[in-house]
Amino acid sequence: MKKFIIGLLCGIIFATCGSVFAESAVKKLIGEKVKGQYEVSVNGKKLSTPAIVVNGTSFLPVREFGNSVGYKVNFDPKGGIKLEQQSDTQSEYEMSEKARIEQERFNREAEEAQKAADTKAVTEGRIRIVKEQIQETENVIASEKRKLINDKEIYIELGGDLTIYETSMMYLTLTKSIEENEKKLEELKKELVSLEAQQ
């Protein structure tokens, strides 16, 4: 278990400090977006430096985390970061088991928080789209109704029989389009109410 903790901490160190041994891991992180920043607590005590999540992997502050689980952390420019177990600490198994449980809990909570954030972002995006569609549909309906009124007025001015106009293909097509767009508008408004209730 000691090897597991040391391996975990070294992996975190090498992935974030730019050491020669982790050059490829660091290159993979360059330009990547930090997806989250979370408080870390070890045995109920919060660390002052938060952990971050990049590409689904959490990265902890090495010195503070190492010290909190019973390791002395030293930096050697030639040898990198070194962790040494302090003599007056918990047993190796207890320390590694607690670190494993903390890491699993942190990863689980980070994943749940990310899923919730993703769901919220998708809902907000859909709300924006539906609002735009509602506005566009309302504009189309208003435009079609104006055209219908204008066409009627022109037809009357020309001395035409309004009953003949109201049975014409142009009139029927326009009124059918208005009716379909009003149904579409109603459905969009219902969807918007449903989406807003999810927030």
Is residue 119 within 8 Å of residue 111, measured between CB atoms?
no
- Is the predicted pLDDT of residue 88 greater than 70, yes or no? no
% of the chain residues with pLDDT over 90? 22
- pLDDT given at position 90: 56
pLDDT of residue 44 exceeding 80, the answer is: no
List the structure tokens of 194: 């449903």
Most confident stretch, 109-123, 132-146, 153-167: 132-146
β-pairing verdict for 41-42 and 45-46: antiparallel
Residue bearing the bigger pLDDT, 126 or 161? 126
Provide the strand spans (E) within the chain: 34-38, 41-42, 45-46, 51-54, 57-59, 71-76, 80-85
For residue 120, the model assigns a pLDDT of 87
- Is residue 153's pLDDT more than 90? no
Ranked by mean pLDDT, the top range of 18-22, 75-79, 176-180 is 176-180
Res 36 pLDDT > 90:
no
Higher pLDDT, 83 or 189: 189
Give the separation between CA 172 and CA 101, rounded to whole angstroms: 70
